[in-house]
Amino acid sequence: MTQADVRAGEIKQKVKEKYGKAALQVVAGGAGCCGPSDSACCDTVASDLYALDETSSLPPEAVLASLGCGNPTALAELRPGEVVLDLGSGGGIDVLLSANRVGPTGKAYGLDMTEEMLELARANQAKAGVKNAEFLKGEIEAIPLPDESVDVIISNCVINLSADKRRVLAEAFRVLRDGGRFAVSDIVVRGQMPDTVRKSMEAWTGCLAGALEEGEYRSLLGEAGFEGIDLEATRVFRPEGYAGGGDFVSAFIRATKPKA
């Protein structure tokens, strides 16, 4: 096992621990957020992402468990009958919203590696009475679905948490049908990130250290085979106490799998 493999395993375990605790906190009546400083993150990145009419029919726990940085369900322009996959589905808010958008002839999958989040998501699904959704346990680097089985892939501030983004994007490309859409919200960095931040485990689990530079994100999507790549910044922020040379950006990232 290489040093990189060991590091990736450490990151994965810390992410599981953090988001498992976040799920339990929601069950206990609290809320979580993505960032080393929860209050700063919630105020800057994760606030006001969804319209009230979108969330009014969802259980409060689904809204409290939203740890994202955007609204990929709106970004993806989902259509009735489509099959949607949410990478890192957490408490299920984007899966439940997607299921409503694609209607009874469509389906929404949620994929998460954290058992506590899966339990919370399935409980939220039952409370919402959503039938056309399914939550799968697994890792976004090894999606447990067949080739060309999905029309749209969404994700909300999760891909940055992976230590092997090249593999994540290759898997996304594999499960998408020809002409399928990749439409995610994620954190990217503008400028140079100090090595001290890259090496910080707290910064990794806080959605910062794993953020790709904008050009690198585009390059990896192209390498995976995607076309029509577009990155749209939505919010620029600098975390409290951060002394790096660049800014962090919450962004909408779109791409398409070419038609055969």
Q: Count of domains in the chain?
A: 1
Identify the domain containing residue 156 by its residue range: 3-256
Three-state DSSP string of the chain: CCHHHHHHHHHHHHHHHHHHHHHHHHHCCCCCCCCCCHHHHHHHCCCCCCCHHHHCCCCHHHHHCCCCCCCHHHHCCCCCCCEEEEECCCCCHHHHHHHHHHCCCCEEEEEECCHHHHHHHHHHHHHHCCCCEEEEECECCECCCCCCCEEEEEEECCHHHCCCHHHHHHHHHHHEEEEEEEEEEEEEEECCCCHHHHCCHHHHHCCCCCCEEHHHHHHHHHHHCCEEEEEEEEEEECCCCCCCCCEEEEEEEEEECCCC
Across 148-164, average pLDDT: 94
Q: What pLDDT score was predicted for residue 30?
A: 60
Q: Pick the residue with more confidence: 243 or 163?
A: 163
Q: What is the pLDDT of residues 127-145, one digit of tens each?
A: 999 999 999 999 999 999 9
Question: Residue 114 pLDDT > 50, yes or no?
Answer: yes
Residue 245's CATH number: 3.40.50.150
